[in-house]
Structure 1
Amino acid sequence: MKVVDLFCGAGGLHLGFQEAGFEIKLAVDSNPIVAKTHEFNFPEIPFFSDDINQLTGFELFNLIEGEEIDVLIGGPPCQGFSTIGKRVSSNFERRTAEDERNKLILEYIRILNQLKPKYFVIENVKGLLTMDKGDFIKGVYKELDKTGYDYKLKLLNMADYGVPQLRERVFIIGNRLGHEVNFPLPTHSENGEDGTFSWENCWYAIQDLVEIKEDKDFNHVPLKHTEKIIERYKLIPEGGRLPENDLPPELYRKNFGNTYKRLSRFKPALTMVPGNDAFPIHPILNRSLTVREAARIQTFPDWMIFKGNRRQQGHQVGNAVPPLFSRILAEHIKKKLLKEEV
């Protein structure tokens, strides 16, 4: 079974499909650092690194050797707007015309129409649902309706599938085979209700890395925090936040943002978003997580090496779909495709 991955990033989505037995025919991303990560980790997978709007139908079919694609996957980025129009259709069209980032969802749908895969998967951030007060997603629905695919959207928490992280993401699944569109059943829940396992804590994923102070080749390099930042970190309890209203004057500043949160060894991690180059704070050490620790929490295997500087590595990890969930999703779709062939 064959897959094309658009806006693939570090490859978390197609890695899970690969582990489930799918063949990745093509990965597409215009980020040159992502291209280096793919060349190092997935040299066997053809990679298209130009802007996706330059990927013509002819070149697309040439790259996949004219083979039928079973699943098209990807996470096209979208950028919101502060103003909205009265008509959803013209509003969506105007926004996709005004901002290149919003055209990317149309590029995904263009390739969906060209490839006509049996299934498709779109992943995106939770904010997609409320962008432009809900008008943008309505515009996406209108474009998908034109494709003839049956599809559904659902907000999923990765912790419900064994990922040691509270991470909510939007998934749209569709098919042209007449199959009922549904999603993998959760395997975990907060307290193990209804026959599921309890959420995984983040500590089991990273505890052995405490013994490794630094390994550049392993993406395990702690940020060099200032003494003032370290003193603030010392005041943050495990699983808690910085007590902003009870700080000594020398440690106070006007805005702390969301970076001053410490993980708990006994709970899933907060969402791995790198922010200002800093992941959340380690459960027991007075520093933020390294890229490798974040990758572990994202369920990337240790053989995956992320290229670029630390900031670029962090963004690749933080923006990825956890491969553990990707595999569960791939197995779910695979069962449906195999049933179709029988």
Structure 2
Amino acid sequence: MSNIFEKNAEEIRVLSLFSGCGGMDFGVEAAGGHVIFSNDILADACKTLSKYFPDTDIRNADISGIQTFPTADIVVGGYPCQSFSMAGNRDPKKDERTNLYKQFLRVVSIVRPNYFVAENVSGLQQLSSGTFLKEQLEAYNNAGYNVTYQVLNAKDYGVPQSRKRLFIVGIKKELNQVFQFPKPTHGKSTKSTGELKPYASHGEAIKDLPLWPEGEFYERPHDPEGHFSWYYMSRNRKAKWADPAFTVVANWRHITLHPASPMMTLTWSNLTDGWKQRWDFSDQYEHLEANPERKKLDKPRRLSWRECALIQTFDSQFTPVGETESKFTQIGNAVPPKLAEVLFSHLFSGAGLVVVDKQIPLHLTRK
């Protein structure tokens, strides 16, 4: 028994499912792994993968139609999450995507890797009192894996974005190991947390990009309401310059505002009659109060896809394949590469592996 990451050769062979444009894959490679196989159903995502992972076997297909897979030390993937999302229809029983975890489980059962890492939205933990999450944990446990899970917020690990995601890590029971998640490195320092770095500023992350990148963000041409619908104006869409950004979403219409935009203020609210509010733009710029030298947008705009990529911690040269809307979809669906790197470094190095001398009861994994 040891806390060493058990691999079958010199390199760590990684099989990636539901790979998207490679957010998790970039993190895997930065942590020292080698992605040998990737899969996604979206053609543009697979073209992006081919662009940045030329030596990887990339399959643009429905995963259910793929029957054979290479041997691997670890299987990773973020199966589609819309049916569990707090922003989605939130009725998983009626959404076929709810059962995509079974395809992930099927591949794990075929490949029998020593480890697996699955990612989903944090809403999976809350829906139906956690029954959908419990179903998955039990399935992985019955397949022969010690499983632990935790909701991680990307901002706690140096990503300039507040983004909560649930990760499930499984380890083959015969290895007598269990995974403990990395502790936050960023946030407010307390006696219990120790010394932490301050949260990363999303304004600073994107400050060197063009202030008005024509064609790289969503606008509503020829619309009498202007560029922002009533729904968009029903909440505050502007995070402070010095703070992490709000979550980067996959729908370019709902992307939040550039931090150099004017502040939004609540102009009326009638929450007793549903969730009805109205926010409007003011003439205030909170980011200039701290530093008058910062850039300023006279007209508010949504973040560009290039800015979203930097906020997600993709490399500054990262350019996904496809039209502008497709770029937003790929970037918004991705796991932040920096968060993935932290997680996989913690696993590959053995720092997150704890030796156990007996089977872990399933209820102990539900933190």
Report if TM-score (shorter chain) is over 0.5. Answer: yes
| Aligned partner letter, 1:288 | R
Structure 2 gap ranges (5+)? 1-11, 261-296, 355-367
Determine the structure 2 residue equivalent to 1:243. none
CA positional deviation for 1:134: 2.2
| 2:165 is equivalent to residue 169 of structure 1 | yes
In structure 1, the residue matched to 2:48 is 37
Residue pair 1:230, 1:287 contacting (<8 A) in 2 also: no
1:267 alignment partner, one of 243, 248, 254 = 243
- Residue 112 in 1 paired to residue 108 in 2? yes
Cα distance in 1 for partners of 2:113, 2:202 equals 36
2:179 maps to a residue whose letter is V
CA contact (8 A) 2:182 2:352 kept: no
Say if 1:259 and 1:47 are closer, same or farther in 2 by CA, change over 3 A: farther
Counterpart in the other structure of 2:255: 279
Query: 2:220–2:227: 8 Å Cα contact kept in structure 1?
Result: no
Shift of 1:48: 1.3
Higher strand share: 2
Secondary structure of 2:99's aligned partner: helix
Deviations 1:214-237 (Å, cap 9, x if unpaired)? 4x7xxxx133355866687xxxxx
Shift of 1:187: 0.8
Q: Does 1:49 align with 2:60?
A: yes
Partner secondary structure for residue 349 of structure 2: helix
SS of 2:148's partner is strand
1:100 shift after superposition: 3.0
Supply the distance in 2 between the matched residues of 1:43 and 1:32 (Cα, whole angstroms): 16
- 1:202 matched to 2:198? The reply is no
Distance 1:258 1:306, change over 3 A: farther
Q: What is the deviation of 1:41?
A: 2.2
Q: Which runs of 5+ in 1 are unaligned?
A: 85-94, 233-252
Distance 2:246 2:170 in 1: 29
- Residue in structure 2 matching 1:126, options 109, 122, 129: 122
Report the CA distance shift for 1:258/1:108 in structure 2 as closer, same or farther (over 3 A).
Answer: farther
Amino acid at match of 1:182: Q
Distance in 2 of aligned mates of 1:272 and 1:281: 11
Distance 1:267 1:315 in 2: 24
* CA deviation after TM superposition for structure 1 residue 139, in Å: 1.3
CA distance in 2, matches of 1:143, 1:257: 42
Q: What's the Cα RMSD here?
A: 2.7
Is the contact between residue 72 and residue 119 of structure 1 (CA under 8 Å) also seen in structure 2? yes
Which amino acid in structure 2 is aligned with residue 324 of structure 1? K
User: Counterpart amino acid of 2:29?
Assistant: Q
Change (3 A) 1:295 1:27: same
- 3-state SS of paired residue (1:153): strand
SS of equivalent to 2:301: coil
Cα displacement (A) at 1:302: 2.0
Tell me: CA distance 1:211–1:328, structure 2 relative to 1, closer, same or farther (3 Å). same
Distance in 2 separating the partners of 1:276 and 1:331: 32
Distance in 2 between the 1:102 and 1:276 partners? 24
Write out the 4+ residue segments of structure 1 that deviate beyond 6 Å after TM superposition: 81-84, 227-232, 337-340
CA distance in 1, matches of 2:113, 2:76: 10
Larger fraction in helix:
1
Q: SS where residue 189 of structure 1 aligns?
A: coil
- Tell whether 2:72 aligns with 1:72: no
Whole-Å Cα distance in 2 between the matches of residues 191 and 183 of structure 1? Answer: 19
- Residue identity matched to 2:100: L
**Aligned partner letter, 1:135:** T
Matched to 2:141, the amino acid is D
